[in-house]
Amino acid sequence: MKDAIVINELAKEYVRGSETIHALQNVNFTIQQGEFVAIVGPSGSGKTTLLNLLGCLDRPSRGTITVNGINVSDLPEGKMVKVRRQNIGFIFQSFFLLPTLTVRENIELPLMFSHRKDGNGKIDSILNTVGLEKRADHLPHQLSGGEMQRVAIGRALINEPKIILADEPTGNLDSATAQRIYDLLDSLHKQGLTLIVVTHNMDLAQMAHRVIKLKDGEIAG
Amino acid sequence: MNFIKLAIKNLMRRKMRTMLTVFGVAIAVAALFSLSSFKDGYEKQLTKELDNMGIHILAVPKGCPYEAASLIIHGGVIPKYLSLADLEQVKTMQGVDLATPMLLQQFYKDETPHIVYGINAADMQKLKSWWKVEGRFFSDDEDHVMVIGKNIAEKKNLQIGSTMPFGPNKEPFTIVGILDRTGGQDDEFHFLPLAAAQRVFDKDGLITTIAIRVKDITKISQVGQTLETIPDVQVVTMSQIMGTILNLVGSAQTLLISVIIVAIIICAVGIINTLLMSVNERIREFGMMKALGASGVDIGKLVLIETLFITISGGILGAATSIIASSLIEGFVRGIIPYAPSGQLISSDPQLILLCLAFSVVIGIICGIYPALRSARLTPIGAIRSSYE
Ligand SMILES: Nc1ncnc2c1ncn2[C@@H]1O[C@H](COP(=O)(O)OP(=O)(O)OP(=O)(O)O)[C@@H](O)[C@H]1O
Ligand SMILES: [Mg+2]
């Protein structure tokens, strides 16, 4: 199997005034294509920081990240955009839907940025996958939290990425709704996608092949 | 989904602000548009008015200031006179093609000033070849006849053959002709045979000015110089009159222009501020879009379309309003400016419309490029985070 993500001696520091916060230190691991990995750890341990780096949304202070064979550690932002478009689907904890766009339009949005058209009913099949066929023309404020998160997942899928990254996708949801999201993520993984999920939720972590534990910015055990 | 649709949805999200910004642009463009069309129209009309005189040089009594001489074309009366002897001398001067005497008088009737020109009809018709008269002109030896301008005929409802009491002694004068509309000051005047005017106003043998046409218009100033060798005569050329008027108007115009320019700048700064503000408060959203695969160029494109929507619709609205309201604006401007030529001052030149639209587009582009540059270098997280700073 090929490597989806390789990270080497990764470190991220935040400078706040005279204080330097080591959010990540000496992080090394490899995630293979098709793997399902959960990242867990106490609050403030650097999970979000790590996921943002893997998703090419932020830049490391030191170390290297290779995504599908491309070293993105010091790629200029202009080129990073392409890597993101072609490889990564990102799901935020707080959904980040556009309030004026319908469910269908929110899911469609990334297509506009990758300059592609909705070929052979891709949006419809995604609406199907996330179970929102009947909600296609609703606006985000008319949806429940679980439905909003499913829109966000659908949106992450539209560009057919190889890797899906999700930051606490069930953090804002009750357990029954969360279960639906787990099932959805699990089915995506079964279709061959690489799945990396940050979670506090042990049920979700148990579904993963592998659990990476973070503590104080370092991998613990 | 495409950029235009998304831009419209974003604008609809902030309906009130969008509308106010459109109005802001409209006001700035309307001001700019009226101002530049006024400046254009003013000089055009002035030149036309002077051309319409068909006269190259006016000979006036010595000591008559240019400012007063300028008013001659407007029917102003100067209390000094030339004699018929001066006229004979002018006629013999080299380079003079035609010289014809005029006596200008004013009298009040029904509280309004009436301007009277005593003229030699045959000469005047030569100078003003475009004059067409309904009825006929008079000959020099007639009396109690007159030709009136179209506006007077319409205002007083006078026809050919009507008789009106005229002058200080209310003598009956018969209207033998009505001048076709010239679009100039002539529409407001009464024309009498010179001798009749001299008799009625008790100015025997006196004339106010001599209108002169030269043989070669490139030699106007030379002819002017030779004319000034006549002791009583002072010469005013049409270009001097134009200069005097422009000077007179200049200071009022400058004030008006500076006020409007300041207003436009304030407007432009306000518009830019609003547009940038709505970009700044959305940097977080742009960061999210970047996480979904948008590039800095995409963000710039989106914002550019939004701002162009605002500025172009404001530009169109502003230009349209100022065209529709031009007569209102014209009346207002006429009240401020000390000398306004007749005819339409505000001309809606299509080039001007383009210029004003260009102005609004430029503002739109300035505001669209900024977020593109700003978000192009930021990583998505950088953008999402920068909104908290
Ligand atoms: N922009 C920032 N500036 C300064 N410090 C930051 C910034 N973002 C995160 N940190 C710090 O880095 C550390 C790791 O933060 P991170 O958000 O990655 O934690 P987390 O594991 O995702 O926590 P949680 O489970 O609460 O979401 C924390 O100590 C946090 O305070
Ligand atoms: Mg977190």
Element at A198 (helix H, strand E): strand A194-198
| Ligand 1 site-directed mutation target among A15, A22, A47, most atoms within 8 Å of CB | A47
Residue A9 pLDDT grade (very low, low, confident, very high; cuts 50, 70, 90): very high
- Interval between CA A190 and ligand 1 midpoint (Å): 31
Q: Residue B67: is its pLDDT beyond 60?
A: no
Identify the pLDDT of residue B225. 86
Q: Residue B152: is its pLDDT beyond 80?
A: yes
Identify the pLDDT of residue B157. 87
Residue B239 pLDDT grade (very low, low, confident, very high; cuts 50, 70, 90): confident
Residue A5 pLDDT grade (very low, low, confident, very high; cuts 50, 70, 90): very high
pLDDT > 70 fraction of chain B, expressed in percent and rounded = 88
Six token digits for residue B192 = 């009498």
Identify the pLDDT of residue B70. 57
Name the minimum distance, in Å, from the CA of B27 to any CA of chain A: 29
With tokens 């970009």, the residue in question is B279
pLDDT > 90 fraction of chain B, expressed in percent and rounded = 10
* Residue A108 contacts B, CB cutoff 8 Å: yes
Six token digits for residue B201 = 């106003």
B209: which strand partners?
B102
Identify the pLDDT of residue B138. 92
CB contact under 8 A, B293 and A105: no
Of A158 and B374, more confident: A158
Q: Residue B389: is its pLDDT beyond 60?
A: no
Per-residue model confidence as pLDDT tens digits over B14-47? 889 889 989 988 888 888 887 777 777 777 777 7
Identify the pLDDT of residue A127. 92
Pairwise CA distance, residues B193 & B140, whole Å: 6
- Interval between CA A37 and ligand 1 midpoint (Å): 20
CB contact under 8 A, A114 and B295: no
Residue A129 pLDDT grade (very low, low, confident, very high; cuts 50, 70, 90): confident
Q: Residue B291: is its pLDDT beyond 70?
A: yes
Per-residue model confidence as pLDDT tens digits over A163-210? 999 998 888 778 888 888 888 888 889 989 999 999 888 888 888 989
Pairwise CA distance, residues A144 & A138, whole Å: 11
Q: CB-based burial of residue A139 (10 Å sphere; 0-12 exposed, 13-18 middle, 19+ buried)?
A: middle
Mean pLDDT within B309-320 = 89
Task: Let me know: does B314 contact B275? Beta carbons within 8 Å.
Answer: no
Looking at the CA of residue A93, tell me the nearest atom of ligand 1.
27
Residue B304 pLDDT grade (very low, low, confident, very high; cuts 50, 70, 90): confident
**Phi/psi of residue B72, each to 5°?**
-55, -40
Six token digits for residue B323 = 């065209």
Pairwise CA distance, residues A139 & A1, whole Å: 41
Among B95-104, B244-253, B295-304, which stretch is predicted with the lowest mean pLDDT? Answer: B244-253
Instruction: Please name the amino acid found at residue A189.
Output: H
Q: Residue A89: is its pLDDT beyond 90?
A: yes
Query: B57-61 and B233-237 as β-strands: parallel, antiparallel, unpaired?
Result: antiparallel
Name the closest residue on chain A to residue B296, using Cα atoms.
A78
Name the minimum distance, in Å, from the CA of A205 to any CA of chain B: 25
* Residue A213 contacts B, CB cutoff 8 Å: no
Identify the pLDDT of residue A11. 95
Q: What share of chain B is helix, strand, coil (3-state, %, to 5)?
A: 60, 15, 25
Q: What is the CA radius of gyration of chain B?
A: 31
A164: which strand partners?
A89, A195
| Neighbouring C-beta atoms of residue B204, cutoff 10 Å | 9
Looking at the CA of residue A198, tell me the nearest atom of ligand 1.
22
* Residue A139 contacts B, CB cutoff 8 Å: no
Question: What's the mean per-residue pLDDT of chain A?
Answer: 90
Identify the pLDDT of residue B105. 86
Residue B337 pLDDT grade (very low, low, confident, very high; cuts 50, 70, 90): low
Q: Determine if ligand 1 sits within 6 Å of the CB of residue A16.
A: yes
A118, A111, A65, A68: which is closest to A88 by C-alpha? A68
CA dihedral (B236, B242, B244, B245) in degrees, to 10, reads 130
Mean pLDDT within B123-144 = 88
Contacts of B238 (CB under 8 A, 6+ apart): B50, B53, B55, B56, B57, B220
Element at B145 (helix H, strand E): strand B145-148
Task: Let me know: does B81 contact B207? Beta carbons within 8 Å.
Answer: yes
- DSSP-assigned letter for residue B64: -
Pairwise CA distance, residues B225 & B252, whole Å: 32
- DSSP-assigned letter for residue B138: P
Q: How far is the first Cα of chain A from the last one, in angstroms, to the nearest whole number?
A: 24
Identify the pLDDT of residue B37. 76
Per-residue model confidence as pLDDT tens digits over B162-217? 898 888 788 899 999 999 887 777 888 899 999 999 998 888 888 988 888 888 87
Instruction: Please name the amino acid found at residue B59.
Output: A
Pairwise CA distance, residues B339 & B316, whole Å: 31
Question: What's the mean per-residue pLDDT of chain B?
Answer: 82
Q: Determine if ligand 1 sits within 6 Å of the CB of residue A47.
A: yes
